[in-house]
């Protein structure tokens, strides 16, 4: 029995260095071991000093079960050569950062093992004295303080009980996800601060489980282990949390005060091939009359390229500078279809690269409001909200009429000021004043910001839910001589210029709504009414109306897809003070398209629209316009 006890005590430094399970006052005294039930049973044969407190055995036994080195297995090793290279202090050398010198060759000679006493319990005192001599062998006068707690070590090694206890918690509760390469590296030595970070992660995870009242997931043994880890690494945990607090404060200061002006380049290219089928309109009110009703339109391939330079000075504002070049035919030309109702969502042939947009916007009132300032290219749909989902000319409706209500969204624009303000999640108001940018930059009589073509607008938006929204829109406009486009270049010729090229003022009222009925289906539409007043060459009045119903099919086949069906009546003159200038019949606009994203940056939109009784005249034949729009965004 004494020989077994001797071997156990000869190996106790290695066992204690691997598991770190108990404080030990000195090698001459009997420490309270936690190596296992057999070792504890053996230890009871020797009287421990009264000043050495005994810890609860039951809890320590459960902790010891998770230590990878089992003292019982070591005690059963009978061949002496298996014990020849067991060091007295397994942490000697590189693992010691406290400046305590430890001989690297402090080993237990085999001869001493063979000469160990084999008597009964009466020889225990002699055994203790011999063990004490072995512990001091080779150390001379330099005395190394005995490690009695893991908190005394500068590093936590994979053989330490604390390391293995934490590893058990990680495996059971998923406290740590691992390294970026998907490994845990459980056998790598950690610094105390790294280990403290792991303890802190497990503490937060277990607190979450306790707060969630997860049944039978957190055991008392795990809580006991965690409590001991927290006590032994209290200093490191406090330091770690202090460091995090300092870093968070510094990061907040950087986010609040440090910002570098950034300009991002965003591009958009649109390929627009298409054709118009059907005889051109021969009968209209104020447009040109065609001698024949042939079909002069040819297939074409148009394009538009935009480069947006988006600059921010605060991280919240945006200065946009846009360069644009485009060449897409205007199908309403006399020698093509001779009706404004055939116009596509994008058209125009300015030729060279031009400055198309120069606007600046910035938020106020903690993000509730937004101010727009535009020198060029500020659009009505920048300031006012378009509720129907197909307002984007490069990704929405393929026709000019189908994008949005022309009563309130097609008019003088380009240069001006706009303000948006959200009173709540449900209520929003938009106000703005804009002048035609062709007049705003001039200073001669009849031009400028307030004496040329201009418009003032107001909009109230009510959105009771995220899927349902209504708006009431009002615009007041003035069109100077020879610059009249009351219906925004859509509808009949009479609706666009009810008094020819004479100066005209209009009051425009529109309502719109959109309801996302389901994830793949929405319904919406608009109604608009215009009251026009002639200001030059007469004093006539006219009333113009239009309407549309819009069905949307977002993500119908896959995410990013969008199908659309639009049925409506383009702007029509329903009353006029001058006899014969009212539109006698009714045109119906029927449009269908489907946007199919090929990738994150490329989308193809095949579509068509049909115009019956073009220019609200049943004498004109139906016109069909088809296109295969391809949009590149980067």
pLDDT, one tens digit per residue, over 574-623 is 999 999 899 989 999 999 999 999 999 999 999 999 999 999 999 999 99
**Amino acid 40: pLDDT:** 35
Asked if residue 289 and residue 156 are part of one domain, the reply reads no
Asked if residue 582 and residue 477 are part of one domain, the reply reads yes
Query: Measured between alpha carbons, how far is 471 from 14 in angstroms, rounded to an integer?
Result: 80
Q: Which residues pair with 611 in a beta bridge?
A: 589, 623
pLDDT greater than 50 at residue 113: no
Asked if residue 307 and residue 388 are part of one domain, the reply reads yes
pLDDT greater than 90 at residue 531: yes
Among residues 592, 573, 593, the alpha carbon closest in space to that of 584 is found at 573
pLDDT greater than 90 at residue 91: no
Q: What percent of the chain has pLDDT over 90?
A: 50
Number of neighbouring beta carbons within 10 Å of residue 144: 17
Asked if residue 380 and residue 280 are part of one domain, the reply reads yes
Asked if residue 433 and residue 379 are part of one domain, the reply reads yes
pLDDT greater than 50 at residue 5: no
Residue 63 resides in a domain? no
Query: Measured between alpha carbons, how far is 310 from 292 in angstroms, rounded to an integer?
Result: 50
Query: Measured between alpha carbons, how far is 176 from 184 in angstroms, rounded to an integer?
Result: 9
- Reported confidence tier of residue 76, pLDDT bands at 50, 70, 90: very low
Cβ(570)–Cβ(528) below 8 Å: no
pLDDT greater than 90 at residue 498: yes
Asked if residue 319 and residue 192 are part of one domain, the reply reads no
Residue 9 resides in a domain? no
pLDDT greater than 70 at residue 179: no
Query: Measured between alpha carbons, how far is 325 from 306 in angstroms, rounded to an integer?
Result: 7
Query: Measured between alpha carbons, how far is 41 from 135 in angstroms, rounded to an integer?
Result: 23
What pLDDT digit, counting tens, does each position of 15-30 carry? Answer: 444 444 444 433 334 3
Q: Inter-axis angle of helices 192-211 and 234-257, to 10 degrees?
A: 80
Higher pLDDT, 632 or 106: 632
Residue 433 resides in a domain? yes
- Reported confidence tier of residue 191, pLDDT bands at 50, 70, 90: confident
| Residue 197 lies in domain | 148-214
Domain count, the chain: 3
Asked if residue 324 and residue 241 are part of one domain, the reply reads no
Looking from the CA of 84 toward its CB, the CA atoms found within 13 Å total 6
Span 363-371, mean pLDDT? 96
Q: Which of 176-180, 332-336, 506-510, 553-557 has the highest mean pLDDT?
A: 506-510
In 384-425, beta strands by DSSP E: 414-422
Rounded to the nearest integer, the mean pLDDT of the chain is 77
Q: Dig out the tokens for 456 from the structure.
A: 């003032």
Asked if residue 243 and residue 271 are part of one domain, the reply reads no
Q: What percent of the chain has pLDDT over 70?
A: 67
In this structure, what DSSP letter does residue 249 have?
H
Residue 72 resides in a domain? no
Span 558-580, mean pLDDT? 95
pLDDT greater than 80 at residue 107: no
Cβ(589)–Cβ(611) below 8 Å: yes
Asked if residue 587 and residue 444 are part of one domain, the reply reads yes
Query: Measured between alpha carbons, how far is 553 from 560 in angstroms, rounded to an integer?
Result: 11
Phi-psi region of 72 (alpha: psi -120 to 50; beta: other; left: phi over 0): alpha
**Amino acid 220: pLDDT:** 78
- Reported confidence tier of residue 340, pLDDT bands at 50, 70, 90: very high
Q: Which of 51-60, 278-287, 308-317 has the highest mean pLDDT?
A: 308-317
Asked if residue 436 and residue 414 are part of one domain, the reply reads yes
The three state secondary structure string of 285-327 is CCCCCCCCCCCCCCCEEEEEEEEEEEEECCCCCEEEEEEEEEE
**Amino acid 129: pLDDT:** 54
Residue 76 resides in a domain? no
**Amino acid 334: pLDDT:** 86
Residue 603 resides in a domain? yes
Query: Measured between alpha carbons, how far is 230 from 225 in angstroms, rounded to an integer?
Result: 9
Q: What is the largest CA-CA distance in the chain?
A: 134
What pLDDT digit, counting tens, does each position of 224-233 carry? Answer: 877 887 888 8
Last residue of a domain, one of 226, 258, 290: 258
Query: Measured between alpha carbons, how far is 449 from 433 in angstroms, rounded to an integer?
Result: 9
Asked if residue 411 and residue 308 are part of one domain, the reply reads yes
Q: Inter-axis angle of helices 2-19 and 161-173, to 10 degrees?
A: 60
* DSSP-derived 3-state class of residue 434: strand
The H or E element spanning position 193 is helix 192-211
Residue 465 is part of a domain; what is its CATH number? 2.40.160.10
Query: What's this model's pTM, rounded to 2 decimal places?
Result: 0.62
Span 368-374, mean pLDDT? 97
Residue 44 resides in a domain? no
Residue 378 resides in a domain? yes
pLDDT greater than 80 at residue 330: yes
Asked if residue 462 and residue 608 are part of one domain, the reply reads yes
């Amino acid at each position: 029995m004494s020989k077994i006890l001797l071997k156990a005590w000869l190996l106790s430094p290695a066992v204690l260095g691997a598991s770190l399970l108990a404080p030990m006052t000195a090698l001459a005294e009997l420490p309270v071991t936690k190596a296992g039930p057999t070792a504890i049973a053996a230890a009871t044969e020797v009287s421990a000093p009264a000043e050495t407190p005994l810890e609860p055995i039951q809890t320590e036994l459960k902790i010891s079960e998770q230590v990878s080195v089992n003292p019982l297995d070591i005690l059963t090793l009978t061949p002496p050569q298996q014990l020849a290279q067991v060091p007295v202090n397994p942490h000697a050398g590189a693992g010691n950062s406290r400046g305590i010198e430890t001989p690297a060759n402090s080993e237990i000679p085999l001869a001493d093992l063979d000469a160990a006493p084999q008597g009964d319990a009466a020889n225990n005192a002699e055994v203790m004295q011999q063990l004490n001599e072995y512990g001091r062998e080779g150390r001379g006068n330099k005395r190394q303080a005995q490690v009695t707690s893991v908190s005394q070590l500068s590093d936590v090694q994979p053989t330490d009980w604390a390391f293995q206890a934490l590893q058990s918690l990680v495996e059971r509760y998923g406290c740590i996800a691992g390294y970026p390469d998907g490994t845990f590296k459980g056998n790598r030595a950690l610094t105390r601060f790294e280990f403290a970070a792991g303890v802190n992660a497990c503490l937060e995870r277990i607190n979450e489980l306790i707060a969630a009242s997860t049944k039978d997931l957190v055991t008392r043994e795990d809580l006991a282990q965690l409590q001991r880890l927290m006590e032994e690494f209290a200093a490191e945990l406090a330091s770690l949390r202090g460091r995090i607090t300092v870093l968070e404060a510094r990061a907040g200061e950087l986010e609040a005060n440090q910002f570098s002006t950034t300009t991002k380049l965003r591009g958009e290219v649109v390929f627009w091939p298409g054709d118009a089928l059907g005889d051109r309109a021969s009968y209209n009110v104020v447009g040109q009359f065609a001698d024949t009703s042939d079909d002069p339109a040819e297939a074409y391939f148009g394009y538009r390229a935009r480069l947006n330079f988006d600059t921010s000075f605060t991280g919240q504002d945006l200065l946009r500078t846009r360069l644009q070049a485009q060449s897409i035919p205007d199908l309403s030309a006399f020698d093509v279809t001779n009706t404004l109702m055939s116009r596509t969502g994008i058209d125009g042939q300015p030729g060279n690269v031009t400055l198309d947009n120069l606007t600046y916007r910035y938020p106020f009132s903690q993000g509730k409001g937004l101010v727009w300032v535009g020198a060029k290219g500020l659009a009505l749909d920048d300031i006012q909200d378009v509720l129907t989902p197909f307002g984007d000319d490069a990704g929405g409706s393929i026709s000019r009429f189908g994008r949005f209500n022309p009563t309130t969204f097609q008019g003088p624009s380009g240069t001006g000021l706009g303000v948006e303000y959200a009173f709540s999640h449900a209520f929003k108001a938009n106000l703005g004043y804009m002048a035609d940018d062709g007049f705003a930059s001039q200073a001669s009589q009849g031009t400028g910001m307030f004496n040329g073509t201009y418009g003032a607008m107001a909009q109230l938006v009510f959105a009771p839910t995220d899927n349902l929204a209504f708006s009431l829109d009002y615009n007041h406009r003035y069109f100077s001589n020879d610059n009249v486009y009351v219906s925004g270049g859509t509808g009949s010729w009479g609706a666009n210029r009810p008094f020819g090229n004479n100066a005209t003022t209009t009051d425009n009222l529109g309502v719109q709504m959109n309801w996302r009925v389901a994830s793949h289906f929405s319904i919406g539409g608009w109604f608009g009414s215009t009251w026009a007043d002639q200001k030059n060459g007469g004093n006539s009045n006219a009333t113009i109306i239009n309407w549309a119903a819009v069905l949307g099919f977002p993500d119908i086949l896959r995410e990013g897809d969008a199908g659309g069906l639009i049925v409506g009546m383009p702007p029509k003159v329903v009353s006029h003070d001058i006899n014969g200038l009212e539109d006698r019949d009714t045109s119906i606009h029927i449009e269908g398209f489907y946007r199919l994203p090929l990738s994150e940056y490329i989308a193809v939109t095949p579509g068509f629209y049909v115009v019956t009784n073009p220019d609200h005249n049943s004498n004109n034949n139906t016109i069909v316009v088809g296109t295969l729009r391809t949009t590149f965004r980067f």
